[in-house]
Amino acid sequence: MSTDVGLALRGYLDHLTVERGLATNTLLSYRRDLRRYAGVLHQRGIADVAAVTEQDVTDFLARLRQGDAEHPPLSASSAARAVIAVRGFHRFVVREGMATVDPAKPVRPPKRPQRLPKAIPVETVQALIEAAGTGSRTELTTRDAALLEFLYGTGARISEAVGLDVDDLDLTERTVRLLGKGGKQRMVPLGSFAIEALDRYLVQGRPLLAENGTGGPAVFLNARGGRLSRQSAWSVIDAAKEGAGVDVEVSPHTLRHSFATHLLDGGADVRVVQELLGHASVATTQLYTLVTVERLREVYASSHPRARH
| Active site members | 157, 181, 253, 256, 279, 288
Rounded-to-integer distance, Cα 116 and Cα 125, Å = 19
CA contacts within 13 A on the Cβ side of 19: 7
Q: In this structure, how many other beta carbons lie within 10 angstroms of the beta carbon of residue 212?
A: 14
Cβ–Cβ < 8 Å for 284, 275: no
Cβ–Cβ < 8 Å for 86, 37: yes
Burial bucket for residue 91 (CB in 10 Å: 0-12, 13-18, 19+): middle
Rounded-to-integer distance, Cα 275 and Cα 155, Å = 11
Rounded-to-integer distance, Cα 112 and Cα 183, Å = 29
CA contacts within 13 A on the Cβ side of 283: 2
Rounded-to-integer distance, Cα 72 and Cα 107, Å = 22
Pair type for strands 175-179 and 169-170: antiparallel
Torsional class of 182: left (φ above 0), alpha (ψ -120 to 50), beta (otherwise)? left
Residue 88 is which amino acid? G
Identify the three-state secondary structure at position 177.
strand
CA contacts within 13 A on the Cβ side of 105: 8
Length of the chain in terms of residues written = 309
